Amino acid sequence: MEDFGLGFASFFLLVQITNLVVVLCLRFQDMILGIAGGMVGFDMFGMVVYGWALKPFTEDVKLFIGGMGLAIFCSLIYKIKAFLKMQEKL
């Protein structure tokens, strides 16, 4: 079960990437579409590196990947809330 938690811990990485993107979107308002598109690349790169770095420490890879999948789903919900709050500030 700790493998699932280790995979789900990637949620905190995704939240930090989302917060960085929100700050960049507020600062550079004329480049929002490019920054949002780059967020997909940042998320992918972060998850691949996270999975590659921590995979040797897991016993059950399927639980680890399942935790990462749940983290991606939860981060999508967080992204929706963050971008709706950001839209009010624009």
Q: How does pLDDT run across 6-45, given as a tens digit for each residue?
A: 999 999 999 999 999 999 999 998 888 888 888 999 999 9
- pLDDT the model gives residue 46: 93
Which tokens hold the place of 22?
Answer: 């929100």
What is the C-alpha to C-alpha distance for residues 69 and 72, in angstroms, rounded to an integer?
A: 5
Is 71's pLDDT higher than 90? yes
Is 90's pLDDT higher than 90? no
State how far the alpha carbon of 43 is from the alpha carbons of 9, 13, 14, 61, 72, in Å.
14, 9, 6, 20, 9
Q: What percent of the chain has pLDDT over 90?
A: 80
